[in-house]
Amino acid sequence: MTSASIHPSAVMGTGCDVHPSAVVGANVRMGDGVRIGPGVLVEGPCTIGDRCVFEAGSVVGPGDAEDGNVVIEQDARLSAGAIVRGGLVIAGGARVQAGAVVLRSVPPHAIVAGNPAQIVGYVPSFGGEGTDTPAAPGVAAHGTGAITTRVRGVTLHRLPRVLDLRGNLSVGEFGRSVPFAPKRYFLVFGVPNAEIRGEHAHRTCKQFLVCVNGSCSVVADDGRHREEFVLDDSAIALYLPPLTWGIQYKYSADAVLLVFASEFYDSAEYIRDYAEFRRLAEMQA
């Protein structure tokens, strides 16, 4: 570490490992246990959380953004040749795949790839390279009804389907197949494929999601376990109880997501900060 090029203004935590061929510039602040690989360039201003990993040839710099500060939160990883530029945040536990060029902030535990980088998955809480993704049609083996998931309180539902030459029908009954009586519904449609919806939890509101046309993926997170579900059948639904962090993405061009909610809209009922959600979820566990 002594032969690495580290600017005198850089601040390093304990247990950091910087390869001799790496360059750490001015105004870089590292937490504990950060690993900087060969050929890495980190330019400030940049704040790096504990246990972050920068693999060979990755680059972090201010770019052309007016606020050039880059924040890389704890346990994030940049794979070989990844580039992060501008005033953005790589949130805790995120993964930037090899060669990706990140031009906007990355949410917690997201996996991004490509140029410009887009979200391609989410890191599971139980190890591996991406969220466990049960294909929705797999519920058919259970007939109609609900099956449990790894995520606390989240259930995947197969709704009754009636096939008829005059037109097919799928039905749900509130308080039966839908486990609550809704007070409102909303539709999400026309979402560009690269965009992410949700990224919040609710304090008291229950939700029941049905993709009535096309397909989308839903990530459910209880603070300890995280799973991804593919909704590509109008007879498949996903129930999200309160204090579940929900994300919807990978929308097909024709996707229409129908969401039933147990409460009227109240902005104060939303939890939009992942760290706050984790604290509340731990109190409930």
Query: Do 85 and 202 reside in the same domain of the chain?
Result: no
Please give the DSSP secondary-structure letter assigned to residue 64.
T
Domain count, the chain: 2
Query: Do 211 and 269 reside in the same domain of the chain?
Result: yes
Query: Do 68 and 150 reside in the same domain of the chain?
Result: no
**Domain coverage including residue 100:** 5-122
Residue 1 has pLDDT above 60, yes or no: no
Distance CA 117, CA 262 (A): 36
Strand pairing report for 110-113 and 95-96: parallel
Of the two residues 145 and 155, the one the predictor is more confident about is 155
Mean pLDDT in the chain?
A: 89
Please give the DSSP secondary-structure letter assigned to residue 174.
B
Distance CA 151, CA 126 (A): 11
For 175, counting Cβ atoms within 10 Å of its Cβ (0-12 exposed, 13-18 middle, 19+ buried), the class is exposed
Distance CA 32, CA 11 (A): 11
Query: Do 172 and 230 reside in the same domain of the chain?
Result: yes
23-24, strands of its sheet edge to edge? 5-6, 23-24, 41-42, 59-61, 83-85, 101-102
Mean pLDDT along residues 197-202: 94
For 7, counting Cβ atoms within 10 Å of its Cβ (0-12 exposed, 13-18 middle, 19+ buried), the class is middle
Mean pLDDT along residues 190-195: 84
Q: Rg (Cα) of the chain, in Å, rounded? A: 22
Q: Residues with catalytic annotation?
A: 200
Distance CA 270, CA 113 (A): 29
Query: Do 77 and 201 reside in the same domain of the chain?
Result: no
Query: Do 194 and 254 reside in the same domain of the chain?
Result: yes
Interior angle at CA 123, CA 119 and CA 126, nearest 5: 165
Distance CA 143, CA 84 (A): 47
> For 211-265, what is each residue's pLDDT tens digit?
999 999 999 999 999 999 999 999 999 999 999 999 999 999 999 999 999 999 9
Residue 193 has pLDDT above 80, yes or no: no
Residue 133 has pLDDT above 60, yes or no: no
The DSSP H or E segment spanning 276 is helix 274-284
> Nearest to residue 33, comparing CAs of 75, 87, 3, 61?
75
Query: Do 237 and 117 reside in the same domain of the chain?
Result: no
CATH assignment of the domain containing 171: 2.60.120.10
In order of 77, 281, 282, the CA distances from 223 in angstroms are 20, 6, 7
